Chain A
Amino acid sequence: MSENTSRQESQGHELHVIVYAPRDPEPKAFTFPPSESVGQAAALAAAEFSYAPSNFSFQTESGEVLNRDLTLAEAGVRNGDKLTLVDVGGGV
């Protein structure tokens, strides 16, 4: 898929991403609207991996932890991205 096509899909159509979770060696495929917030999408993915509700976000392959308050499109998520589920709750 070309970069232009990928960008176009991330702006108006559904995003297909692969999500990894530390507790499961097998990733899962998800489809989200690009207008979904990172936090909401991560929460939905977390539930599929049987996590209790918490403060989830995604980490990109380059190591960036995405801002939970942005939409997936605003956070730069692209079709086909591989994301890792991360709990961003701080220390106490």
Chain B
Amino acid sequence: MTHAQLETERPAILAWAAKYGWSVGISPADRMIRVSTTHPAAGVALTGLADCAWYPSAAPAWQFVNAAGASARSAYPAPGNTPGISGSIFHPNGLICAPWNRLAYGELGGVHNDWGGIVNWKTAARGYTQAHTIADMLQALMIHLMASPGMMP
């Protein structure tokens, strides 16, 4: 993530976080964004990290981490259903399965070999979740989190 890109998006990110009560830390030095909130159904603290090293040329690498900083399956919300949304972005394997998460792409060990390369993230998987800015991604995370019944075991 370039500093210019960060500065362009920073007001929207902070406004979104203030509106919904999420804690967001932006670290230009290591190009990381750290978000914290509470799982609405489980009441468990959630921490998400976005590695924005290649953003916006490629999607950020989003993951949830536990208190020790490990991206364990148990750090992820469980998938849930809500009216009007066809499926959860929370994969039972412990993955945010969305075209705006580069970790979902097969070339980086994800489950999708059918989306083209990670630089195609803004046109991949049309008809499914789309989010092209960090604030849009936070909104998508929140919408699917609202439908999550709890944490992964």
Contact = CB atoms under 8 A, between A and B. Distances in A.
A23 B133 contact: yes
Contacts of B112: 92
A31 interface: no
Q: Indicate the size class of the contact surface on chain A.
A: 20 to 34
Q: Indicate the size class of the contact surface on chain B.
A: 35 or more
Given A22-B12, A22-B16, A89 B128 contact: yes
A87 to B, nearest CB: 5
A52 B130 contact: yes
B135 A23 contact: yes
A22 B127 CA distance: 19
Contact of B146 (A54, A63, A68): A63
Interface of B: 9, 11-12, 15-16, 19, 79, 82-91, 97-99, 112, 122, 125-133, 135-136, 138-140, 143-144, 146
7 contacts: A52-B130, A54-B130, A65-B83, A67-B84, A88-B84, A89-B86, A91-B98
Interface of A: 20, 22-25, 51-52, 54-55, 57, 59, 63, 65-68, 84, 86-92
